[in-house]
Amino acid sequence: MRVWDGPDAVSSTSTLNQKKSPRSTWPCLALAALLVGAWTPTASARVQASILLNAGTGKILEAHNPDSLCYPASLTKLMTLYLTFQQLNWGKMTLGQELTVSKHAADQHPTKLYLKPGEQITVQSAILAITTRSANDAAVVLAEAIGGSEEQFARMMNERAHALGMTHTAFQNASGLPDPHQMTTARDMSKLAVAILDDFPEYYRYFKARRFEFRGRTIYGHDHLLARYPGVDGMKTGYTAASGFNIVTSAVRDDHRLLGVVMGGRTAGSRDRHMVVLLNHGFANLHETTPAGAQETGVARTPVARYKKVSLDDTEQEDSERPDAGWFVQLGGTFRSPIYAHRALKSALHSDPEVLRQANPLVVKLANDRYLARFSEMDASAAIEACRFLRHRKFTCAAYQLRGKGLSMASTQ
């Protein structure tokens, strides 16, 4: 299989009335535009809702009806992928694992790969089929492999949505095919996208793929901004007649990553143009203190790590004076940015070992401007147990004891 990258490298009932048709309280009310000072009135009027935020800080830069209910369409598949990446990290699936296509999966409406019942597809091919073609049959194959049934998988989707703070989202299926009770908001979709960036940086490369080879065919993607807007490196498009044209886009310039969501565009072109306006305005005004139309609360990010500019020796000396803090777990090697170290810590925390929640997450800056990701202030048994757990979940880690000016590494095999 060859993958081409782009040019740049809830509970379903707790917050939504499931009995009421969303059209009776039409999502993304136009009236909200009168209540929020729209920074681009003409552009905003062409979409139902949008939001733009700094993915590194969670700060909202622009917002238009961010909490109005909308149909997610294929943006739903972002949660399907989130749960798939989680299974991969936990070691419950592998990228090369062959999954069998059920009749239910094969019967999904287009867009799809036209898989046949009894055929097999690898987890990686299913992921790429979703990130490029938005294949509904591939999404259901993954859902059934993880949840046992699409219905049970939808319950898992809602549980994770609730855990991520997506308080106005209800999922009913794995694909985003029309369901009157499947709803979300622009803000909730931005939370999900940020969670993917933070929790699974190792799998983000799949969102960059513009096409891939599958059984002798070249499968092309739908996200034209990957080729047309410098710095865009993923995420996901979506469309149904009820939802209009949706998109989640992530773009990087000068080490700043912006994350945008547009819901309910009238055409794919108008949706993409609106996203371009958002990104242009966001990159041009990253340091504004009062962004227009964005007085709402920012997207919550888990405060994981403290930043310290110290040398490795300084850290060892400071910690070695505290006998109760003589052990730590270190993730991976060194990171070129504190953001990547922060993401590694957060991803480990999301794997849910209780012992880590009692440790002290710390990003340490080295003299060479590289960064370490550590869980510190641990005793020997806690550090070794945590590292064993993380290795079982496919993390790279080591448990260390501080001894004066030196380190002693424990065996966690």
Q: For residue 127, is it within any domain?
A: yes
The CATH number of the domain holding residue 314 is 3.30.70.1070
User: Token match 């287009």: residue?
Assistant: 110
**Domain membership flag for residue 24:** no
- For residues 189 and 319, membership in a common domain is answered with no
Using the 3D structure, point to which of 284, 314, 335 is the last residue of a domain. Answer: 284
Residue 326: domain span: 306-409
77 is catalytic: yes
Residues 319 and 233 in one domain: no
Residues 82 and 198 in one domain: yes
In a domain, 27, yes or no: no
- Please tell me the predicted confidence (pLDDT) of residue 289: 38
**50, 102, 134, 376: which is the annotated catalytic residue?**
134
- Are residues 262 and 335 both part of a single domain? no
Please count the structural domains in the chain: 2
- Segment 358-403, tens digit of pLDDT: 788 888 888 777 788 898 888 888 888 888 888 777 777 888 886 5
Catalytic residue among 74, 102, 125, 347: 74
Dig out the tokens for 269 from the structure: 């072109």
Per-residue pLDDT, averaged over 257-261, amounts to 97
Active-site annotation holds for 134: yes
Task: Please say whether the beta carbons of 131 and 3 come within 8 A.
Answer: no
Q: What is the mean pLDDT of residues 178-184?
A: 97
Residue corresponding to tokens 């509904």:
136
268 with 319, same domain: the answer is no
Inside any domain, residue 160? yes
pLDDT band at 144; cut points 50, 70, 90: very high
**Which residue in the list 12, 68, 77, 243 is annotated as catalytic?**
77
